Structures are given as structure tokens and as C-alpha cells.
Structure 1
């Protein structure tokens, strides 16, 4: 039986019937923030087109670090591939998550580290909240949260090992309309950083309701967030669905 809050949230974001008929979502966006300079890739993601499959975990970033390259992330088995725009393989890494072992927040990333992180992260972002209905994912409502004079209802979501994501247990916040406003997770491959990730400026694209502004901040252990300086900024310019 589906959690009642999840039912409301799915409907607010376009409905499960719509999502079930989709095979691909493509977004044009700008990804910024100081974390990329720390990782050795300042301004590398300022103009990206991200295409994701809705049925399997697969995402493609074009261009990727160079005008003539793209990055492909996929599972079954999990791997990240750097390709030319014609599909010729340049580099590939399987078991890509293992390459982050021992890394801390300040550890520089190579191009495949970068491709892995954005590959799985943006697949999760663009499939939320519909990914909560996928096999092995469990979503249940927990106590509400008060912030900035608002009360947000929350879903605690547990992801199976079959889905590459930030960490297995995450919390998602929704306003009175059922729209996503925040998500909390632990970025395991980024030194297990506690994160408060805010979503706003929702727009409708082909019936799908998508937040077009995302701001990612460090989160305190008590759940509060210092909103002065985002580590990552994401601004979506356009979304198309197939």
C-alpha cells in the first residue's frame, strides 16, 4: 500500500500515469558553485544538457569538460564512460564508486570521478519523486518540519543497493501543495558531507512539474542549514520529455 503523502506528492509533480508513459527526460541547465573549483573543475559544468532514461539508471551529459566529449553513467554493471560525441570510447571506469575510497571533501577528482558523481546525482534528481515507486525503494511519512514560518511534510526514503545514489537513507520535504522544497542526504563520496538541498521555482514541462532552481548547502547535525553560501547551484533552463 502506497504512503498517502507519496500519493499526493506524485500527483503534484505530474502524476504517476504521466511518468509511466515516459522513457526519457532531457534538461538544459547551468551547474555552478565553489565545490567544483575545490575538485579541480571550475566552471566545467556551466552549460550542460543532461538526458536521463526513466526506466533504467542511465544519464548522459553533453558536452562534458570539453566541447567534443560527453559522459555516460549507467548501471548493470555500474560504470562511467567518457566518449566522443560520435560515441567512441575515450575512457571507462567500472565499479566507479570504489575509486572514491579514502577521499575527503578537498580531494581533487579526475574526469571519471566527476562523471560518476553528476551521472548518478542528476538521474536521482530528475526522477524524484517517481523513483520512490521503483522496485526496492521504500517511502514513509515521518514527523513534519517547521522552517521559515512554514510546515513541510516529510518522506523518509530508503534506497536499495541496485540504485546508485548519495546514501541509502534520505529525507524529502514537501510544502502544502505537495511540491518538493528540500532533501537531506549524506554525500558519501564527498567525505560523507551532511547536505541540505533546496528546490524551488517549479515549472511545468510537458505535464511534468520540475523544480528549476536548486541550491545545495552544508547541513548541521541538528537538521538546520546555514543558507548564506551554497556549495552547488543548479539552474534549469528547459526540460523536454519523451
Structure 2
């Protein structure tokens, strides 16, 4: 494994500990401009998410005021009522975003797809670096806010549904994540700078509980406004 990737994984609790768990759940308090822009203001302001560890799947509940439940897998999205009846489904969901821009509204299954791949990626990182087919390459260091962060370029195989094929992680001297860059392919390749902070330890694994995503400029710097997405996590459980 890439030396920096190993350092990052170890700093977050280590692969051996991570692999003793198969799922993770958390409460999310979310905000930012993206949700209303996509036609779904307040739908996921307060919700719970459960994700698979290794096997890629994610479920949000409640999904809206009527307590619907989502199930995201890379090849299919389902939205169910509280009794488990399927209300909507979308096969090959990635293809449904072809031609989208940042301003294109999303259907409910498209929102469920975005939210699912996003939270699966965030909650599985940095342990995704050890997945088969993931390629890591150390880049030059980055200076921001009087700090120097090491950077890791991550290239994902097509089997993993995530924001973009190529992403960049920024870590501090200890190896903890500070920032995570990607281009949201399903929203017109919109570039984002995702800031990560406020760590807690759960069952030996270190998790950031505060995430703030801002626009990213061509030179790699971020803009202070607008706040695209905010995510505060609590009640994290590994099982």
C-alpha cells in the first residue's frame, strides 16, 4: 500500500479494527444551499443514515416528512414506505444524471442516490484506500491557514460509485483528514472543497463529526461562500 495511505488509515484506527465491523449508522443534521437548489429543501435536514462497510449500500430514514426509507446500491435506488413497500425505484441511476448541471433539479430517487453515495464515501474514508482497484499517489504538500497538509490523489475503479473517479485527500501531520476534494460528476462536474474536523472516537475508529463543503476554484483554493453542504454527525454506531 502507498506509504501515505497507510499512515492515514492507521491514524483513523487501523484497517484491522475497521474490518471487524460490517455496518455503521449515524444521525445527520444537514444544511447548505445544495438541497434547495436541487428542489429538496429541508427533506434531509434531520435524518439517520446506515451504510455498509465494504459492500456499497446506504439507507436514509426518514427521507422526508412522511418517514420514507431509501436504499442505495450502485445499480439501483429504492424508496420505500415505513411498512417496506416500494414506492419508487430507479435502475442504473448514474445514467439518469447525463446532461445535468449544478442547477438541474433532482427527482427523489436521484436525491437518494446522491445522498447515498456521498455518505457511504464519507463514512468509509479513509479505509476505502485499501479497497481493490483503488490507486493512490502522493502529491506535493499544500499550505492553507498557516498549516502544511500532505496530499493524496485517489483514483477509484468504476465498480465504486462515488462523486468522481479522481479525488484528493489532505491530511495533517498525524494523518487525520482535513480536506477532501472532488468534482461532483452527477452535477455537471461541480468542484467542491470538503473540510473535515471535530473528531470523536467510536469503537477504536476516529470519525470527524463536522463537515463543511464549499466551492473550489481552478487554482485549488476554496471560496468562503456559499456554504454548499453542511453535515454534523452524532450517535455514531459501528456494528
Normalised by the shorter chain, which TM-score bucket? over 0.9
Whole-angstrom CA distance in 1 between matches of 2:128 and 2:224: 27
Match of 1:27 in 2: 26
Whole-angstrom CA distance in 1 between matches of 2:206 and 2:181: 20
Q: What are the residue-to-residue correspondences of 1:92-103 with 2, within 5 Å?
A: 92-103=89-100
Q: Following TM superposition, by how much is the alpha carbon of 1:55 offset from its aligned partner in structure 2, in angstroms?
A: 2.2
Match of 2:141 in 1: 144
Whole-angstrom CA distance in 2 between matches of 1:97 and 1:66: 26
Q: What are the residue-to-residue correspondences of 1:116-155 with 2, within 5 Å?
A: 116-155=113-152
Q: Following TM superposition, by how much is the alpha carbon of 1:85 offset from its aligned partner in structure 2, in angstroms?
A: 2.3
Q: What are the residue-to-residue correspondences of 1:79-228 with 2, within 5 Å?
A: 79-228=76-225
Q: Following TM superposition, by how much is the alpha carbon of 1:3 offset from its aligned partner in structure 2, in angstroms?
A: 1.2
Once the two structures are superposed, what CA deviation does each residue of 1:170-211 show, in whole Å capped at 9, x if it has no partner?
100000111100011110111211111110111111111111
Q: How many residues align?
A: 239
CA-atom RMSD, angstroms? Answer: 1.0
Match of 2:51 in 1: 52
Match of 1:36 in 2: 35
Once the two structures are superposed, what CA deviation does each residue of 1:115-165 show, in whole Å capped at 9, x if it has no partner?
010011110000000011111111121111010110000111000000001
Q: Following TM superposition, by how much is the alpha carbon of 1:84 offset from its aligned partner in structure 2, in angstroms?
A: 1.6
Whole-angstrom CA distance in 2 between matches of 1:200 and 1:41: 26
Match of 2:70 in 1: 71
Match of 2:234 among 224, 233, 237: 237
Q: Following TM superposition, by how much is the alpha carbon of 1:79 offset from its aligned partner in structure 2, in angstroms?
A: 0.7
State the TM-score, normalizing by the size of structure 2.
0.97
Whole-angstrom CA distance in 2 between matches of 1:144 and 1:67: 47
SS in 1 for 2:16: helix
Whole-angstrom CA distance in 2 between matches of 1:173 and 1:67: 39
Of stretches 225-234 and 88-97 in structure 1, the one that deviates more from structure 2 is 225-234
Task: Give the gaps of 5 or more residues in structure 2.
Answer: none
Q: Following TM superposition, by how much is the alpha carbon of 1:6 offset from its aligned partner in structure 2, in angstroms?
A: 1.2
State the TM-score, normalizing by the size of structure 1.
0.96
Task: Give the gaps of 5 or more residues in structure 1.
Answer: none
Query: Is the counterpart of residue 9 in structure 1 residue 42 in structure 2?
Result: no
Whole-angstrom CA distance in 2 between matches of 1:100 and 1:230: 23
